[in-house]
Structure 1
Amino acid sequence: MIATPSISPPPKPTQRIRPVPAVTRAIAILRLLGKTKEPMNVKSISDALDLVPSTCLHILRALTAEKLLAFDSASKRYRLGTGMLVLARSVMETNSFAQVVQPALDLVSEKWGVTAIGVEVDLHHMVVTALSRSKLPFRLHVDVGSRFPGLISATGRLVAAYGHYSRQEIDQQFASLRWHKPISLASWHKEVETAKENGYSLDSDGYIAGITLIAVPVLNARQHITHTIVAASISHQMSQNETDALIQELKSHARRTSEQLYSGDDTP
């Protein structure tokens, strides 16, 4: 019997997002000040972002008026303001994934001595929304709110495997990735296929030297990936049997998380 190949429906056209320069520049300023450890003046901000100083100043004043930035009149420098804390708290209080997954992350980090991470994903970026650290003397430089490229490392392979993105979209994003151990596009696609077959992805030293990252997908009712649960450890910290057991436990947590988040989601 010869199977008839299924014909996939044509992809839906992507929604065109009209650029809004003022918003884009304001976000860039907030991100810049979020990354820097010291307050910055108008010139240093405008130089860093290639903005016209007068335009930069107008945006800074608007953000300061909304308490998203704070201005020190003595030094003439800007830093993030308390309004950002209010927004961040609101995000955490309304982020159902973070609330649902946190107990699982705490269990995993305590039992296995790993950093357990809840991640929200899309093609372009992944964002850490929940985190639990172990008591072992191992600290990964990641915090709630940390952003990474969408297709990097173990989570990135799952985004490609379960994200329903086109091959062209994926390949374009892959070209911008930076690895500790660079990998060819062809080899990476094979690893994506393996990740989908196995239901998890493991990155050992590929993205970060000396660090192993294990990720499992959290899928919605349409089997699209929305989040991942990640365990980060020192490479070779666990035996193969321990690693296998941890993977199964992560899968179990991911299934329960999916059920809690999406059991009533019947959207076609």
Structure 2
Amino acid sequence: MTSVKFRVNGEEGAPASVVESEVEAESVAEEASEPRAREGMGGLAKGLAIIEAFSATTVRMTVAEAARLADVTRPAARRCLLTLVDLGYLSHDGKFFTPLPRMLRLGGAYLSTSSLAQIAQPLLAAARDELQESVSLAVLDEGHSVFVGRAEAIRIVSTGAKLGGRFPAYCSATGRVLLSHKSDGEIVRHISALPLRKLTSRTISDPEDVVAAIHRARTDGYAISDEELELGMRAMAVPVRNRLGGVEAAVSVSVSSARVSVEAMTRDFLPVLQRLAARLERAL
């Protein structure tokens, strides 16, 4: 494979441990200095950026972390976070802000109206019953794989993946499948937009290795993430294509690595996922 050159963000510095109680930049001058889109609401945009910064790997944030992840000033981040606390979307222990169940309402509108999610749910449940493992439907959103459908297997040990969960596309099975149909240039842009962190000791984070894994998903027609998101858990995904041949979504199964080997997934689970994807494609 031709060597591809990347510019990837480096490791982040340690987050600030103390939030200043008094913020001088709360002034009108600070607000006036921040560009706003014409006819847009700058405050709403900042608040949504902070909400989107929460993920499966970022389950709580300080003001400093929210400002960095949402690319806003600390005063703006603080105002947005405290507003979300007042509205019941977040809790605050004096340092960390953490999502509350009310946050689920923000995704509920999409999940309740999306034809793809509605069509998929009974099919996901049927595959779950056949495999006796959790089965999910995911779409791509700005470098992340987002679960928009989920049929959960009842087990003592959970995979940690939930409806609405966001996972980095570069190291998740669904993400690699969703990226696999894009051009090489688009793939580079996607994985260069986020820091390629090693979430576990097994995470593939070297840029050229990530591209190779995405290309392998394109060639094989499926992808496996083996303990890259969480030690002890592995996942397999296959694409769901639309009528034009593009990849619309991905369906996946997640399992405990202690119970199911990669070989068993390929032999026993892959045909079930492929049948599930084919049924979804006929319904789209």
**1:25 matched to 2:42:** no
Q: Name the counterpart of 2:188.
A: 168
- In structure 2, the gaps of 5 or more residues are 1-36, 68-72
Q: Name the counterpart of 1:229.
A: 251
Q: Give runs of aligned pairs for residues 1-268 of structure 1, distance below 5 A.
A: 21-31=42-52, 46-50=63-67, 51=73, 53=75, 56-57=78-79, 86-164=105-183, 166=185, 167-173=187-193, 175-180=195-200, 181-183=202-204, 184-238=206-260, 240=263, 243-261=266-284
Q: Deviations over 1:211-258 (max 9, x none)?
A: 120001112223222211110001152363564232011011112212
Q: Which amino acid aligns with 1:255?
A: A
Q: CA deviation at 1:68?
A: 7.3
Q: Verify the 8 A CA contact 1:122 1:159 in the aligned structure 2.
A: no
Q: Which amino acid aligns with 2:66?
A: L
Rg comparison, structure with higher value: 1
Give me the whole-angstrom Cα distance separating, in 2, the residues matched to 1:127 and 1:118. 8
Higher RCO, 1 or 2 (CA under 8 Å, sep at least 6)?
2
Give me the whole-angstrom Cα distance separating, in 2, the residues matched to 1:71 and 1:82. 10
Give the length in aligned residue pairs.
233
Q: Verify the 8 A CA contact 2:239 2:277 in the aligned structure 1.
A: yes
Range 189-198 or range 78-87, more displaced: 78-87
Give me the whole-angstrom Cα distance separating, in 1, the residues matched to 2:213 and 2:90. 46
Q: Deviations over 1:74-98 (max 9, x none)?
A: x9xx987997555433222111121
Q: Verify the 8 A CA contact 1:131 1:144 in the aligned structure 2.
A: yes
Give me the whole-angstrom Cα distance separating, in 1, the residues matched to 2:220 and 2:169. 20
Q: Verify the 8 A CA contact 2:237 2:252 in the aligned structure 1.
A: yes
- In structure 1, the gaps of 5 or more residues are 1-17, 38-43, 262-268
Q: Secondary structure at the match of 1:151?
A: helix
Give me the whole-angstrom Cα distance separating, in 2, the residues matched to 1:238 and 1:154. 16
Q: With structure 2 as the length reference, what TM-score do the two structures score?
A: 0.66
Q: Which amino acid aligns with 1:169?
A: R
Q: Secondary structure at the match of 2:240?
A: strand
Range 185-194 or range 108-117, more displaced: 185-194
Q: CA deviation at 1:193?
A: 2.6
Q: Verify the 8 A CA contact 1:29 1:45 in the aligned structure 2.
A: no
- For the aligned residue pairs, the C-alpha RMSD in angstroms reads 3.7
Change (3 A) 1:174 1:26: closer
Give me the whole-angstrom Cα distance separating, in 2, the residues matched to 1:196 and 1:161. 5
Q: Verify the 8 A CA contact 2:171 2:225 in the aligned structure 1.
A: no
Q: Verify the 8 A CA contact 1:64 1:81 in the aligned structure 2.
A: no
Change (3 A) 1:58 1:234: closer
Change (3 A) 1:193 1:46: closer
